[in-house]
């Protein structure tokens, strides 16, 4: 049986904890075949982002087209885009495949606070990318930026999820990791019903790339034909395992363990 063909459209993280690198590790660990359209190259580690170099918009679109026209794409994940021209290029490439199962992680800032989406690109993201999305996965600050109001209480999160779907997305997952308390509640709105996923908060500094990992995991599930709620549930469980087993690398926000406990391959 051929693996699900999953495309990630995102920036490269030289430290390997987020972006394209985290996505590829996640997709392959969950049994998919990973492809990539790189939007930007970053000099980045657990301490922060030291530099960002955007790729030309035509390079982004052509990478997507190359994958689509030959290998094919069962599902895709869209992460860091950077500027408005990159948003337009990604929308053109992703929009060329009708019925694409697309998970959009609206990456705006890195874990350390560095801006990864230009302010002028936010409107292009709402207008061009969200209507293509099967699912949008903002954390609380990203949800606030998308809808333009505070997103803290349960009622505010439900309102934000509805508003994101009203922007054209098929569904919205409001991630609760930036909230308070010993438990994290992720809220899924599929356009008709709300579903809540509760998990124990793991107190650790090793959370770099959690959003990238979750969106890539969900996209892999959708590419395999999983129902949305099941893909979200498995994605959250995978991220929890990857946080719990984090290797403890770096002096800042450390990376996850994308092997999730898997024993490395050994020659027999």
Report domain extents, the chain: 5-137+206-244
Torsion of CA 196, 198, 202, 208, to 10 degrees: -20
Is residue 83 annotated as a catalytic residue, yes or no? no
How buried is 185 (Cβ within 10 angstroms: 0-12 exposed, 13-18 middle, 19+ buried)? middle
CA–CA distance, 236 with 102 (Å, rounded to integer): 17
Is residue 177 annotated as a catalytic residue, yes or no? no
| Count of beta carbons in the 10 Å neighbourhood of residue 78 | 30
Total length of the chain: 268
Q: Which of 82, 93, 211, 221 is the catalytic position?
A: 211
Q: Which of 26, 42, 46, 210 is the catalytic position?
A: 210
Of 266, 244, 267, 112, the C-alpha closest to 257 is 244
The residue written with tokens 């980045």 in the block is 44
Q: Which of 209, 221, 223, 235 is the catalytic position?
A: 209
CATH homologous superfamily of domain 5-137+206-244?
A: Ribokinase (3.40.1190.20)
Here the tokens at position 249 are: 């690398």
pLDDT tens for the chain, 268 residues long, are 899 999 999 999 999 999 999 999 999 999 999 999 999 999 999 999 999 999 999 999 999 999 999 999 999 999 999 889 999 999 999 999 989 999 999 987 666 666 667 778 888 999 999 999 999 999 999 999 999 999 999 999 999 999 999 999 999 999 998 888 899 999 999 999 999 999 999 999 999 999 999 999 999 999 999 999 999 999 999 999 999 999 999 999 999 999 987 877 778 7
Q: Which of 8, 42, 137, 207 is the catalytic position?
A: 207
Is residue 78 annotated as a catalytic residue, yes or no? no
The H or E element containing residue 162 is helix 154-166
In sequence order, what are the residues at sequence separation of 6 or more whose Cβ sits closer than 8 angstroms to the Cβ of residue 194?
A: 158, 161, 187, 188
Say what the pTM is.
Answer: 0.95
Q: Which of 212, 220, 221, 235 is the catalytic position?
A: 212
In sequence order, what are the residues at sequence separation of 6 or more whose Cβ sits closer than 8 angstroms to the Cβ of residue 138?
A: 105, 106, 145, 146, 164, 172, 173, 174, 175
Q: Which of 42, 175, 176, 213 is the catalytic position?
A: 175
In sequence order, what are the residues at sequence separation of 6 or more whose Cβ sits closer than 8 angstroms to the Cβ of residue 7?
A: 35, 36, 37, 64, 67, 68, 73, 75, 76, 77
Is residue 137 annotated as a catalytic residue, yes or no? no
Is residue 207 annotated as a catalytic residue, yes or no? yes
């Amino acid at each position: 049986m051929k693996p699900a063909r999953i495309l990630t459209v995102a920036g490269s993280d030289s430290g390997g904890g987020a972006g394209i690198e985290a996505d590829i590790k996640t997709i392959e660990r969950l049994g998919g075949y990973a492809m990539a359209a790189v939007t930007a190259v970053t000099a980045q580690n657990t301490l922060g982002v030291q530099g960002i170099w955007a790729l030309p918009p035509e390079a982004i679109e052509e990478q997507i087209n190359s994958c689509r026209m030959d290998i094919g794409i069962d599902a895709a994940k869209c992460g860091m885009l950077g500027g408005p021209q990159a948003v337009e290029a990604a929308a053109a490439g992703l929009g060329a495949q009708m019925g694409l199962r697309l998970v959009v992680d609206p990456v705006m800032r890195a874990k350390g606070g560095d801006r990864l989406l230009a302010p002028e690109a936010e409107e292009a993201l709402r207008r061009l990318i969200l209507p293509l999305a099967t699912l949008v996965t903002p954390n609380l600050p990203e949800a606030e930026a998308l809808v333009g109001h505070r997103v803290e209480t349960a009622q505010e999160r439900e309102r934000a999820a509805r508003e994101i779907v009203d922007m054209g997305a098929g569904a919205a997952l409001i991630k609760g990791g930036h909230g308070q308390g010993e438990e994290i509640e992720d809220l899924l709105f599929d356009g008709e019903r709300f579903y809540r996923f509760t998990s124990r908060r793991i107190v650790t500094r090793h959370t770099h790339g959690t959003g990238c990992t979750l969106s890539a995991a969900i996209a892999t599930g959708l590419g395999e034909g999983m129902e949305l709620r099941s893909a979200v549930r498995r994605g959250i469980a995978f991220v929890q395992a990857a946080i719990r087993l984090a290797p403890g690398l770096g002096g800042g926000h450390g990376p996850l363990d994308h092997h999730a406990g898997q024993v490395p391959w050994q020659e027999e």
